[in-house]
Amino acid sequence: MPLLQMKNVDINYRMKKNEVKAVRDFTLDINERDIVGIIGESGSGKSTLAHGLMRILPRNGYMKASEIKLNNKDILNISDEEFRELRWIEMSIVFQKAMSALSPVHKIFDQMYDTILAHKPQVSRNEAEEKLSKLLEIVNLPKKTLNMYPHELSGGMMQRVMISLGLIFNPKLVILDEVTTALDVITQGQLLDEIKRLVNEFKLTVMMITHDVGVVNEVCTKIAILYAGELLEYGNVKDIIFEPFNPYTQALVESHPDLNPEGSTLKGIPGILPDLINPPESCIFYDRCKYRKDICKNGKPELQDYKGRKVKCFRVGELHG
Ligand SMILES: Nc1ncnc2c1ncn2[C@@H]1O[C@H](COP(=O)(O)OP(=O)(O)O)[C@@H](O)[C@H]1O
Ligand SMILES: [Mg+2]
């Protein structure tokens, strides 16, 4: 059963003279209980997609789509007011830099409680405290954290608090946007374990945004590869990491030190993201692809079903037949 259905999502940013086409023709179903890693290098449109889904794009951003459904309910054509009813309650988002949004002079609990009241004014202090304490326990934080000030918390503790807050209303879908990125390796590992526990305990469906294939390998069941605003491959994490079909996916996996079977040094992918103001009419990865041929210049490959996954590449049959 798909929980989130997205069809032909386009998200643009208006500039003075032109538009940045940050996400283009993004189509994907996310099934209930899937932990989907959305991966791509910086600037590939991961946060834009998340913000579009949550209707929190900056003022110059706007989204078009032919369909967006959550739990079979149209969430594309509903009013902002109706949407507010389900934000945080049916779907929530946790950001990387949540900490900077907090006021330094108020205790953690008070700030969290304010957020809760903004969405559900009927929740009592006691109820909020009870729920948050339970969540904090799962993420290995003592209850007294709630009585602390933001500056008393480490980055890892802060992220645990923010994740707990994102789960306070038992949303079905949670978007985690680079929540472990700023943390040291050990804290990151612990937090990923805790996220796995939360996912099981609350039967969550997760969109986990990251630029790190290692993180996806660690916690996700599915992986979606985003490149310059386009979905290039989607399927089971283990299958895709074992044998990436799209050349960009392959380059991503090869450039990750822990996943590279040869254990060789980090390779990186030569070249830069294409221009998003005038995206090329060819395959979007053409410029940087080591398998490119003339056919790859002629128009865009479709996202096709291929051997149990979705992949965009003119040469997939030839290279992975
Ligand atoms: N408010 C904005 N106005 C114009 N361009 C933006 C804005 N926000 C993001 N972008 C551009 O959109 C593209 C995708 O950005 P983003 O979604 O933040 O990527 P990611 O999260 O994958 O790093 C980038 O080229 C970025 O510069
Ligand atoms: Mg981002």
pLDDT tens readout for residues 110-141: 998 998 898 889 999 999 999 999 999 988 99
**pLDDT beyond 90 at 72:** yes
If you measure from the C-alpha of residue 276 to the centroid of ligand 1, how many angstroms do you get, rounded to a whole number? 10
Ligand 1 atom showing the smallest separation from residue 50 Cα: 17
118, 200 contact by CB (below 8 A): no
Q: What's the pLDDT at 96? A: 76
Please give the CATH number for the structural domain made up of 2-90+171-319: 3.40.50.300
If you measure from the C-alpha of residue 176 to the centroid of ligand 1, how many angstroms do you get, rounded to a whole number? 17
The CA-atom distances, in angstroms, between 206 and each of 37, 49, 94, 110, 134 are 8, 14, 11, 27, 20
10 Å CB burial of residue 141 (0-12, 13-18, 19+) is buried
pLDDT digits 0-9 by tens, 228-271 = 999 999 999 999 999 999 999 999 998 887 776 565 555 678 88
Mutate to test the pocket of ligand 1, among 14, 19, 20, 209 (most ligand atoms within 8 A of CB): 20
pLDDT digits 0-9 by tens, 138-170 = 889 999 999 999 999 988 898 899 899 899 999
How far is it, in rounded angstroms, from Cα 237 to Cα 218?
9
Ligand 1 atom showing the smallest separation from residue 51 Cα: 17
Residue with CA closest to ligand 1 atom 2 = 13
Q: Which of 28, 37, 97, 33 is nearest to 256 (CA)?
A: 37
Mutate to test the pocket of ligand 1, among 39, 41, 44, 48 (most ligand atoms within 8 A of CB): 48
Q: Which of 41, 40, 43, 35 is nearest to 13 (CA)?
A: 43
If you measure from the C-alpha of residue 43 to the centroid of ligand 2, how many angstroms do you get, rounded to a whole number? 7
Q: What is the mean pLDDT of residues 267-288?
A: 91
If you measure from the C-alpha of residue 143 to the centroid of ligand 2, how many angstroms do you get, rounded to a whole number? 31
Q: What's the pLDDT at 298? A: 87
The share of the chain scoring above pLDDT 70, in percent, equals 96
Q: Calculate the dihedral angle through the C-alpha atoms of 33, 248, 270, 8, rounding to the nearest 10 degrees.
A: -80
Ligand 1 atom showing the smallest separation from residue 23 Cα: 14
The structure tokens listed for 174 are: 């949670």
Q: What is the mean pLDDT of residues 293-303?
A: 94
pLDDT digits 0-9 by tens, 239-248 = 999 999 999 9
Mutate to test the pocket of ligand 1, among 12, 13, 208, 232 (most ligand atoms within 8 A of CB): 13
Residue with CA closest to ligand 1 atom 3 = 13
How far is it, in rounded angstroms, from Cα 4 to Cα 302?
21
Residue with CA closest to ligand 1 atom 25 = 43
Q: What's the pLDDT at 265? A: 55
State whether residue 83 is helix, strand or coil: helix
Between residues 185 and 15, the one the model is more confident about? 15
If you measure from the C-alpha of residue 116 to the centroid of ligand 2, how many angstroms do you get, rounded to a whole number? 25
One DSSP character per residue, 274-300 reads PPSSS--SS-TTGGG-TT--GGGGSSP
If you measure from the C-alpha of residue 45 to the centroid of ligand 1, how many angstroms do you get, rounded to a whole number? 6
Ligand 1 atom showing the smallest separation from residue 44 Cα: 22
The share of the chain scoring above pLDDT 90, in percent, equals 77
**pLDDT beyond 90 at 50:** yes
b/e sequence 286-317, b meaning 16+ C-beta within 10 Å: bebbeebeeebeeebbebeebeebbbbbbbbe
How far is it, in rounded angstroms, from Cα 256 to Cα 239?
16
The structure tokens listed for 43 are: 């600037």
Ligand closest to the CA atom of residue 39: 1
Q: What's the pLDDT at 263? A: 54
If you measure from the C-alpha of residue 278 to the centroid of ligand 1, how many angstroms do you get, rounded to a whole number? 15
Ligand closest to the CA atom of residue 44: 1
pLDDT digits 0-9 by tens, 4-26 = 999 999 999 999 999 999 999 99
**Which segment, 92-106, 150-164, 284-298, is predicted with the most confidence on average?**
284-298
Q: Which DSSP letter does residue 273 get?
A: P
pTM for the model stands at: 0.94
Q: What is the mean pLDDT of residues 294-305?
A: 94
How far is it, in rounded angstroms, from Cα 236 to Cα 175?
19
If you measure from the C-alpha of residue 206 to the centroid of ligand 1, how many angstroms do you get, rounded to a whole number? 22
Ligand 1 atom showing the smallest separation from residue 178 Cα: 21
| Residues whose beta carbon lies within 6 Å of some atom of ligand 1 | 13, 20, 22, 40, 42-48, 58, 60-61, 276
**pLDDT beyond 90 at 1:** no
**Domain boundaries along the sequence of the chain:** 2-90+171-319
